Amino acid sequence: MSGVKCTNNHWIKKTCVFLTAIMLLVCTGCGNSAYDMPYDPDSVISGFNVISRQNSKAAHTFAEELCVVTDNVTNDETVDMTQAEAAILFGLNDCEVLYAKNAHKQLHPASLTKVMTALVALKYGSIDQVLTATDAVTITESGAQLIGLRPGDSMTLNQALHVLLLYSANDVAMLIAENVGGSTEHFVELMNQEAQELGATNTHFMNPHGLTQEEHYTTAYDLYLIFNEALKYEKFNEIIQMSSYETTYSNSEGEVITLSIRNSNLFLRGDYKAPENITVIGGKTGTTNAARSCLMLLAKDAQGASYIAIILKAETRDLVYESMIDLLEEIQN
């Protein structure tokens, strides 16, 4: 043992043996007793994974300022969420959970997927890089939101992100994936890698646009983690606050195509009004037959405090906005 020098003196030898035994007990612990960890790092609930990362010295800075929820936090007297499958309302300034219903239930996200698409594009792409369309932009699914891109058409990533987040164009999602990821498959790998790194462990993506596909799912809580990360990018914040956007891009023949779009978010259009003293900053919409109507928002109160609100699988578009107004009213209660 280092630090303990024994001599031939009989008494000192006994002392050395005693000290050695004590030090072994200190180093090895007390017997075979098992101690339960307060949180399971392998839990399927993303909130547990976030907590375990918060408590881990190896990743001390991860998620120090994130909201954590593992159960429902509801007020049925003031919030009617009977027509939606899942919903959350989190205060970002103080990490407060104001409302949570089925926060960790795996559901189809529809075009809320595109927030992750934008996040990966901003992280791995260059805002001024020119994207050229391949055959991947040809989407034939009935009802899919498109701007009509054709192979050979080109625009910058900056333009594409505006169209992706405001108009929710699925062909533009494929344009971004092919060019930033080198292939759609690799881009989707980056999406799933990013989800895992953020602690969004109940999430799995199969495409960059959110059209219904088996094994493409997420949760309200995981979408909060993804949206919260995307908000760290100035360009993302800038885009989601816009009510409309106009631009031009080139087709395969070099002709100039003019594009004028409006934000799909009806709060930003003025069709719906947030509760008094609450301002909707921006967000993302999503609708498919499987996902129904979904809505994600960044909002602020009169004091400037920020909130993230998400509703998944509301039965209709009107109901998702009406339910969101109810949810936002919780900020002032």
Task: Identify the weakest region by mean pLDDT among 16-20, 75-79, 94-98.
Answer: 16-20
Which of 209, 231, 245, 222 minimizes the C-alpha distance to 298? 231
Q: Which two tokens stand for residue 219?
A: 């949760």
Instruction: Among 15-19, 99-103, 138-142, 201-205, name the one with the lowest average pLDDT.
Output: 15-19
| pLDDT at residue 50 in the model | 62
Higher pLDDT, 137 or 61: 137
What tens digit of pLDDT does each residue of 266-325 get?
A: 999 999 999 999 999 999 999 999 999 999 999 999 999 999 999 999 999 999 999 999
The residue among 90 and 24 whose pLDDT is bigger is: 90
The verdict on whether 56 is a catalytic residue reads no
Which stretches of the chain are assigned E, i.e. beta strand? 86-91, 96-101, 130-132, 154-156, 244-250, 256-262, 279-288, 292-300, 306-314
In this predicted structure, what is the pLDDT of residue 30? 39
- For the domain spanning 72-333, the CATH number is 3.40.710.10
Options 101, 114, 284, 300, the catalytic residue: 114
pLDDT tens-digit map of 138-194? 999 999 999 999 999 999 999 999 999 999 999 999 999 999 999 999 999 999 999
Place of tokens 């106009």: 246
Give the pLDDT score at 59.
42
**Is the pLDDT reported for residue 195 higher than 90?**
yes
Q: Where are the domains of the chain?
A: 72-333
pLDDT tops 50 at residue 58 = no
For residue 75, pLDDT over 90 is answered with no
Burial label, 28 (beta-carbon count in 10 A; 0-12, 13-18, 19+): exposed
* Token pair of 294 as six digits: 């979904």
- Let me know if 323 is a catalytic residue: no
Q: What pLDDT does residue 76 have?
A: 74
pLDDT in tens, 9-29: 444 444 444 444 444 444 444
Q: What pLDDT, in 10s, does the model give residues 114-127?
A: 999 999 999 999 99
Active site residue 52: no
For all residues of the chain together, what is the average pLDDT? 87
State the residue for tokens 């930033």. 180
99 burial (CB, 10 Å; 0-12 / 13-18 / 19+) is: buried
The torsion region of residue 122 among left (phi > 0), alpha (psi -120 to 50) and beta comes to alpha
Q: Residues 46, 52, 154, 168: which is the catalytic one?
A: 168
Q: How confident is the model at residue 57 (pLDDT cuts 50, 70, 90)?
A: very low
Which tens digit of pLDDT belongs to each residue from 217-276?
Answer: 999 999 999 999 999 999 999 999 999 999 999 999 999 999 999 999 999 999 999 999
From 46, 52, 101, 111, active-site residue: 111
Which tokens is 202 given?
């109940």
